Structure formats: structure tokens, C-alpha cells
Structure 1
């Protein structure tokens, strides 16, 4: 049989790298399934990322879909193979953010020659491949040593990784992934940044899961009652809604308070099931914070800036309009929230380094630390691979960045510093993610931009590129750590996950670059259909660092809101660290700021999802492991993301809307508004 020959060839290929059975879960079906799922999620993430800046790890969804598909195979996958599926899929799915396709590259395309002294940069397909290769791997090589410190020694929680392990235990009828049933705050799902978390089922200690032999059929009741049925109907409903919106654009641009407010003030409603699904995944506290920001930004500050003459242009204009004016307030909130949240982590990291250094100088017999590693050497990633791989990725990446952008774009020595800074920021990203389930890459990105504004002043391109290089490592290492936490709890081989990460990242280079090229051919980016809001954040901050000029009166409001949310973030951080139940109800500064960046249409749909999540969790969920709503939300998100590919093909061939009825408010992107 061809499939059997492929499997034998696969085993022979990797037999040189590990003894027999040391990587039993690293199988051809697991990796192939992970690549297929990850490719679909990659398109989905690119689609939503260009629309709202929202990117999801999709760890839970990858594990769930992988499990459901594996049940149709002659031999179902084991829990450890499902983890390889999930790890490979996540590495494939998150490349749009890791390589900056939703922020960095659109920002380079917004550069204005008259204002910035150089023309905009639009990468070709081959240049996009080169740039992706430059940043795709060095974060992966950082993950093994960070795993040793954060997961094995410090035993950080990584709530999303723990939640995925809990889901796998439910699906395979295994002992629970936790021994502590502590209700935590709902996890976030992020914008360009921020919170790559899944819905949190339970908090966790690090009690490992026992595995189930491959080939067994341990379906629990929840899987039999949910599974494919809920996933398929929610997928189909969302897909039909997406196609209807393409042919009849008014479906996703409903004027909330009449055509005037829709046309002049962007108050429309998008009844997108995918955004409802995102709201379910994000949870009610986060969506509530986002909508409070939306109300303040678009309902109060936007009219004030317009009528006061501070933002005289059209409200939706990012340069002279209210949307561009409130962007600065949003940026101040993000920076203040990230700075306050990171401060205790930086302090603890420095104290830990000092203590370790002092201990090393002391008596070896009294300071020798017990090794808590539970895996054997043949299942771990050798450190020589890490050192060699990281060095090669930096050298090759620096060369590729120089080839793609040229010597005038960024100096090679600045790119190398970007990689080094990315490695340092990765430590903070992993610590923050492990403790709070938030990967603060937005704040870390601003730190990198500040650094490069100092070492290479006045160069907008260098600031954005080098900042993107540093951010890529922090984002990728943090996200992959969630997968490694899941693998640790479920006793999956770290080496198998490492291989899955490398393969997923490699394959995603082609998928992401090709998808982005298709989108840029069919739509203007940024444009009405894909505004790419985080691109303006990157470019605006780079210009601020160069010019020091702000829109009229925006500086005053930035200071007021930065101080306010700095204080709020300190209270939230204190409450979260002491595990106080009310911590989750303190508004998140990052989520609040996202409400400024996105038009009301997206935030309102997410709030509906958040409310559904809250009602289900408090009234209808059987217990903390009830995954029915998670499956429905996954179907909603995947339905629109996958069907968007069909819309992209239709647009490429010149097939547009059937009717523009009701689009008199001018907010229907599909009608050329």
C-alpha cells in the first residue's frame, strides 16, 4: 500500500535522530493532519488579522479537530499524537503574526515618500518568502531552554496550555489534567499582540496525564454528544452567512442608528458568526472591556476630537480623522498597561538571575539544584541543536533581511541586535504568558522600537523591521511554550513537538506568503475590507519616535489615559497575582485599547459572543469540562475563515456583489465604498 510505504520511509528518515520508540508519537499521520489543519487556520488568522488585528493560537481548536478527524482513521491517534497534531498546526497557523503579515508588512506599504523620505515597500512573493525565512525559526530554537526553566523548574501555569491538556484528557477519557479545581479569569485571544489564550477550563498544578494506547476508543459522553454534529452545523451556518455577506454586503454593514451615523461616524453592526465565536472564546470579561473602550473611543472621544477641530477630516481617516486621533490614546493605554504588567516580571527575573549567580559562587554542595526533568535524554532536544540552530538562523536571517530590504533599509548589525533583543524579550514574554496567560508582544514591540529609534534614529524602515524581528522571537517562543506545557502534562515527547514546530513553521512560510499575495492582488491593503489596524500602530509609533509630533491635544489625553490605566493595571496585576476572584472584572487595558482600534461593528459582535459564553458557563454547562460551546465557537470561526478563501477566488476572477441594496450609508466594502 502507498500509505504503508510512506510510513516506513518516514520511520527510516527519522531513525537516525532517535532510538526506537523514543518518538513514537511523531508519526506521518499526526504531522500531515497538523499541517492540513494549520493551513486552514493560517488562512483564517490572516483573514481576521488583516480585518481587526485579531490572531488566535487555535490550540484547543487544533486538538479538537485533530481528534475528530482521527476517529475516522483506521487507527485513531493517541493523545500524544494529537499533541503533535496541535503543535504542528499552531506553528503553521500563527505565522501571519510571527512574520508580521498583519502588521509589519502592511505598515511598510503605508510609508509616504513625501513625509518619510522613502517610497512605500511592497514585497513580491519571493521577497515575502525571504522575509518569512528570516524570522520563522529563531523563536523555535529558543523554546527548548525556555521550557526547561519555565515549565520544569519554575512550574509556571500556562493556563491555555493546561486548558488544552484538560480538553485532551476529556476527549480521551483520561485522568484530569489537574488536581486543583480553581476558577481563574477567562483567557484572552488577541490582537496583534496580546493575549494568545484559549478558554480556561481549570487552573493547574503540573500533575502529568497518563496516556491511552493508540487504537483504543475511549470516547467519553461529552464527545459522543457533541463532536462532529455541532462542529459541522456551526461551520455550515457560518459559511452560508459569509457567502451571503459577499453577494449582499448589507448583511455585514447594518446601520445601527440610521444611515447618517453609519456613514459619518462608522456606527454599523456586523452580525458575523465568526466574531460571535471569537467572543465566546475570549470570554465575557474581555469582550466587556473591549466594548467599554469602543463606547468611549467611538461614542465620546471621536465626536469631541471632530467638533473641537483636532481631527477635521472624515471620521474614518487614519491621518486627519477621528480614527487616527483616538489611535494615539489607544497606543498610550497599551503602553501603560504593558509597562505596569511587565514591571514585576522584570524585577522577579532580575532577582532570580542575581540569586542564581550568587548561588553559583557559593559552595557547590549546598547550592546544587535538583534536576526536575521527567523526560529521558533521547526525548529531549539536545542543546547543541539549539545553539547551532539559533546561530544559523540569526546569520542566515540577517543575510536574508539585507537581501530583501537592502543596505539602506536596515544595517546588518542592527538586524543582529534585533535578534539578540528578541531573545531577551522572549524571556519576559514567556514569564508573562506563563503567569497571566497574556503574551504582551505589543508592549514588547514598542520596547524594541524605542531601542532602535535610539541606535538608528530617523530611519522609519529600520525601526519597523528591526522591531518586527525582535517581536517575532518573543511572540513565537511564547506561543510555542503553551504547546510544550500541554505536552508536559500529557507526557508527549519535547523532541517530537520540536520537530513538529520546525515542520509547521517551514510549511507555513509558503502558505502565509501565498495567501498574503492573493489578498493583496484582490484587495487594497490597508483598505475598506481589510483595514489592518495594527499597521497604523507600528507606523505611527515609528513616526512619533522620529518626529516627536502628535495630533493637536492628543498628547494631553494620552497622558490622562496612560496614568489612569497604569493605576488600573497595577490593581489588576496585584489582584491577579493574589488570585482574587474580582481580578478578571477589572477592565483589561489591552482589550480596552482594541475597542479604539476596531470599528464598533466588530466589537459588538464579540460582546454577543461573550454574553453567550457567560450565560452558558453559569447556567447550562454541565461542569468545567463541558466543551459543547467551544466546539460551536470553533465552527463559527472556521466557517468564515475557510469560506473567505472562496470569496477571495471570486474577487480575483472579478465576480462581485449581486446587490448593493441598503448600502447608501457608504460602509459596504464589497460595493466599492
Structure 2
């Protein structure tokens, strides 16, 4: 018996030793790294670096937003580049003898938070969806007839900046009082926030700093390659359908069906970041739509729709492409909404039941998160993190007062920008919005899914139908989408950043203020970057152009459906929409029913829907990225896992930043000197004959 007790004691000592050795916070404490006061975490250098990186990442997100709408998580890239810039800055100051404050992980967290908040406005601002969907450019693609003035709101820099400033800050105040419940009490995971925190923590240890330097070097190499590749390609794009982006990789017939590799380093990088399942799902969607469905429906021309209808009209084949994609997106979105809501309620019910059990059995013992019978003690890391997370509290009165004040400003100001959106519509939305913001932030903590766009789509239908066609319901619905999306998106982003701050000992106050500063930067940078795209590139927003903004067309059609019903759909389109809506629901249900072991072999309906309208060219690019990563992991998995995010980020950021000089060249009227086109041999003979005869 004594031997067993002694062995048990040794095991306990060993476990305590292991826990101490693997304790992140004990490592930092032993190294003498004391978290600075929250005011010192918000340094001038952090804000300067955040501003520079915000511009860079806004270009990246805007380009993705205006091409396919697939936007990978850039948190790790922001943390990595923030570490590199400030570390370089402090090293130079240290050599010069002017370094007053060392670079801390808390300051690194502030930079990451600020950059993600700023570049996030490029998505939630609706520049590729609801906001641009109000424009005359998108309306003309739906109907060549002139649209009533009440249904059009063309982009202007002034009102876009004003709208974002009055709606983007409200979500920050909606969930602040719940930060302790979600982060400390429920210990929600927030996978992206947790992963970013672990990365930042590792950067600021000696071993992690060495790896970070290698990752940054790798990122820089591929950033340079991607930028120079974009510059090289520019020389061959001196006309429509010219250059490497029109390379008929699989033949001219496949190219006509949108299947080709367009040599885009951006989407090769996106493919390396996105999971294999997403990339395969996108490719399967392209094959199903452009390889099977559209040729079959196109064969019904003259029967299902008039043969005289132009190809771009939504009363022809284009209508099937757009509305079936909408049906799949809505089916997936509604299923996800119901699932997250159900999981949230189930979590609460189980939580409350467990709390009651604990209270009954242990009269004055507070509930703990680990429900094992032995009630193990809280780890050193958790104690340390919870202590500092609760130290710099944000008063509830501040959050409630901020929400009320910004809501009042928005209720007054937004109707001046969008007269179709009455003040009482906005009041009702702001009464409901805290519940939606909580649901989105909570669901994001459980699953890492932000359903901001799904809540926005619900607002399109609800407010559009309430306003009606005669009162500008189309614009009212799209503007309502913007109001809701900005609230629920910023709420989940803030809670994600609170989780990162909790794990890096960054103060909640510095997190909140950096989120506010980042949001303010985004309200200025994102509209300015969009305006540069809008004014620089010919054919902007039109199908077949370099920046077609496909989701703008989707969102406007959703608004039209909400206001006018299904009368605009071509023959049999509604039936096909029902089938694909139900199919999207069924596939998601099957994925959940079979469990994670088999669900990885079942495609994602949302990912499949994206190429229905755009085609499969970017799916090929993304699958090339997946193939590169797959082979790399087979050859050297540790190396691939360590450096593939840096390679992917370099490819994405370099190509994204190239759009800035490309825009400037376009505004200056500088055109590429060469047009590289690909013709069939018979067409080439006819061209030669024409040139010889002339």
C-alpha cells in the first residue's frame, strides 16, 4: 500500500513537473517578461505598422472579394508580418541606442487585431456584394431597361465612408458585456483566435523567433515572385481576353466552358490555405454546372427561354446560373443558421443543468468548466490569464451607452444616405441585433463559422418585403443587409480577438481600442481602395471582366426576389431552385449524420455553388495549390506544415499588392504593349488571309 501511495505521489510530482515544463505562461514569467500596462500595449509603432499592413491586406481582400468571393483567414499572415516589421524596427533602434520599449507579444496582438479589423471592413462593407449590388452597372446586367431611380444607388466615396462610419462600430459594443461569459466561463474555442495566439506566443520565445525569421524570409521570397509575376503578365494583356489569364490550358472547347488554368498566384495560394475538401468541392461544382447542367439547359434554347434573349440576360441561361447558385447558397446558409442556433441552445441547456447539479451537490462551490467528478484544479496558465483578463475590465454601462449612442446616430444618419430605409426599419433591426450578434459570436466560438452574410440575407428578404417595390424595397433590403452584416461581423471578430488577447495576456482594453482604431482605418481605407478599382479598370463589375464582382449580382437578385417574388425567373428555373435548395439541405444533413470520419468525403454545397456563375478556372488554380501542398507534405511534412502558410501568404499578398501599381497605370492611361491571344488553327488561317488581303 505504501509503495502504491509512493508511486502515486511520484506520478503526481511527474505530472506537475510536465505541466510546469509545458506551461506557456511559466516560461514567459521565468524569462522576466511582464505584461505592460494596457496603455503601453498601444504604441505608436504598432499603429503605424498596422496602418501599412491594413492597406496591404485591404488590397488582397478587395481583389478576392471582387473576383470569386473566397477569402481565406489572413490572421496568421497579419501576425507574422506584424512580428517581422516591428522586430526589424526595434532591432534598428536598439543598435542606435534609442530603444525605450521592447517588442512584446501583447503589442504583436494589438497589430494583428488592428489589421484584421481594418481589412475585415473590405468584406463586411459589401464592396463585392450588397453595396455594389445597388449600382447601375449591376442593374443593367439584370435588365437592359433603365431602372427606376429609387432602385439605384451608384458608388460615391463620400456616402460610402459615411455609411461605414455610422454602422461599423455598433457591433463592437453589442457583445462586450458577454466577454467573461464566453471566454472565461464557457471557454469557447474560437479556433482562428486560438491558433493566432499560439503563433504569437511562439514568436516571442527564442526557438519560435528563429522559426518566425525563416517563415518571414520564405514569405518575402514568394511575395516578390508573385508581385513580379503579376508585373510580367501585365505586358501581355493589351486587349480583351489577352494574356496568360486567357491561356486555353485544356483546349479551346474547355476554355469556352471556363475550364483553364489562368496562372493566378493568388488562387494557388488560396488553394494552399483552404482545406482539400473546399477545393475539391469547388471543382465538383464547376464540373456539375459548366460541364453538365449548362450544356443541357442551353440545348433547350427556344423551348425554355427565347432564342432572341442575349446571353447576359437573366431571362435566359444566365438566369439559371445565378438563381440556382442563390438557391444552394441560401440552403447551405439556412441549414448552418439552424445548426448553430440548435447547438447554442443545447450548449446552454446542458450548461444550466450541470450548473444546477454542481450547486445542489456542493452548496457554495462555483461551477467549473471541466465537468469531471474530481473537479481538478485550474492550471497555472488559466489562473494567470483569467486574472489579467478580468483586471482591465470594460464597464457594462460603457458598452450599453456606446450601443445606444451609436444606434441613435445611425437611425438618424442612415435614412439621409438611403431614404428607402426608413428610421423605424433601422430601429427594429437594432433592437434585434444584439441577439443576432450574440448568436454569431457564440456560434463562431463553437465552430469558427461567421454567419454574418446569412444574417444579412435574412435582412434583405425581411426588410425588402416590408418596404415593398413601390417604396424602393430593393435598395432598402440591400442597405438593411449592410446594417446587419456590419453588426454581427464585427461582434464575432471582436470576440475572436478577445480570445487571442486572453491567451497572449493582452489587455481587453487594448484589444477593444485597437479594434476601434482598426475599424476606423477600415472605414477610410476600404472605400478608397474600392474606389481605385472602380475608377481604374474598364468593364469593372461586368461579367467576363477582370473584376466581375459576382456576388453583387447575386445579392441584387436576392433583393429583387424578396420584393417582387418569383415572376422574374425563366421557365422551370423555380423547380430547379427548389431541387438544389433541398439538395443543399440534404447534403449538409448527410455530412452531419455520417460524422467527421466520412464527412470529409462529402462535398460542401456552399463551395460547390460559387463556380455555378463564375466557371471553373479559379477551381483549377486552387486545386493546383492543393496538389502542391499534398506533394510537399508527402516529401517533407514538418517542413510543409511550418512553411506552407508563409508560401501561400506570399503568393496571395504579392499578387494582391500588384493591383495597386496596376490601378495607377490604368488611371494614367498606360496600356500594356502586347496582346497575347489564342486562336484555333482555322481561325488563325482566316485572320492571316484577312491581314494579307488588306
Assess same fold via TM > 0.5.
yes
Structure 1 residues 400-450: Cα deviation after superposition (integer angstroms, max 9, x where no partner) = 2112122xx210111222333433222232233222222223322222223
Q: Who is 1:86 aligned against? A: 112
Contact 1:284/1:613, CA 8 A, preserved across alignment? no
Instruction: Name the SS of the counterpart of 2:418 in structure 1.
Output: helix
Shift in Å at residue 333 of structure 1?
Answer: 1.5
Q: Who is 1:495 aligned against? A: 509
User: Residues of 1 paired with 2:308 and 2:287: CA distance?
Assistant: 21
Structure 1 residues 272-304: Cα deviation after superposition (integer angstroms, max 9, x where no partner) = 111100111112111111111111111111112
| Counterpart mapping for 1:204-243 below 5 A | 219-224=208-213, 226-243=214-231
Shift in Å at residue 585 of structure 1?
Answer: 3.2
**Larger helix share, 1 or 2:** 2
The 1:61/1:417 distance shift into structure 2, 3 A limit, reads same
Instruction: Say which of 139, 154, 162 aligns to 1:111.
Output: 139
| Counterpart mapping for 1:423-502 below 5 A | 423-458=434-469, 459-502=473-516
153-162 or 374-383, larger mean C-alpha shift: 374-383
Shift in Å at residue 640 of structure 1?
Answer: 0.8
Q: Who is 1:628 aligned against? A: 643
Q: Who is 2:236 aligned against? A: 248
The 1:646/1:146 distance shift into structure 2, 3 A limit, reads farther
User: Residues of 1 paired with 2:433 and 2:461: CA distance?
Assistant: 13
Q: Who is 2:615 aligned against? A: 599
Instruction: Say which of 173, 176, 179 aligns to 1:141.
Output: 173
The 1:390/1:369 distance shift into structure 2, 3 A limit, reads farther
User: Residues of 1 paired with 2:639 and 2:224: CA distance?
Assistant: 27
Count of residues paired in the alignment: 597
User: Residues of 2 paired with 1:316 and 1:606: CA distance?
Assistant: 28
Instruction: Name the SS of the counterpart of 1:622 in structure 2.
Output: helix
Shift in Å at residue 236 of structure 1?
Answer: 1.2
Instruction: Say which of 264, 272, 279 aligns to 2:264.
Output: 272
Structure 1 residues 485-522: Cα deviation after superposition (integer angstroms, max 9, x where no partner) = 22222221111111000001111211111112222212
Shift in Å at residue 97 of structure 1?
Answer: 1.4
Q: Who is 1:328 aligned against? A: 323
Structure 1 residues 217-249: Cα deviation after superposition (integer angstroms, max 9, x where no partner) = 55455334x233211210111111212222213
Greater radius of gyration (CA): 2
Instruction: Name the SS of the counterpart of 1:655 in structure 2.
Output: coil
User: Residues of 2 paired with 1:510 and 1:646: CA distance?
Assistant: 20
User: Residues of 1 paired with 2:274 and 2:196: CA distance?
Assistant: 15
Q: Who is 1:204 aligned against? A: none
Shift in Å at residue 37 of structure 1?
Answer: 0.8
Q: What is the TM-score with the length of structure 1 in the denominator?
A: 0.82
The 1:78/1:465 distance shift into structure 2, 3 A limit, reads same
The 1:662/1:484 distance shift into structure 2, 3 A limit, reads same
Gaps of 5+ in 1: 1-18, 174-216, 667-673
Contact 2:279/2:626, CA 8 A, preserved across alignment? yes
Shift in Å at residue 358 of structure 1?
Answer: 10
Structure 1 residues 176-213: Cα deviation after superposition (integer angstroms, max 9, x where no partner) = xxxxxxxxxxxxxxxxxxxxxxxxxxxxxxxxxxxxxx
Q: Who is 1:543 aligned against? A: 560
305-314 or 630-639, larger mean C-alpha shift: 305-314
Matched, 1:612 2:604: no
Report the aligned-residue RMSD. 3.0
Q: Who is 1:98 aligned against? A: 124
Matched, 1:341 2:336: yes
The 1:269/1:22 distance shift into structure 2, 3 A limit, reads closer
Shift in Å at residue 619 of structure 1?
Answer: 4.2
Instruction: Name the SS of the counterpart of 1:658 in structure 2.
Output: coil
Contact 2:236/2:672, CA 8 A, preserved across alignment? yes
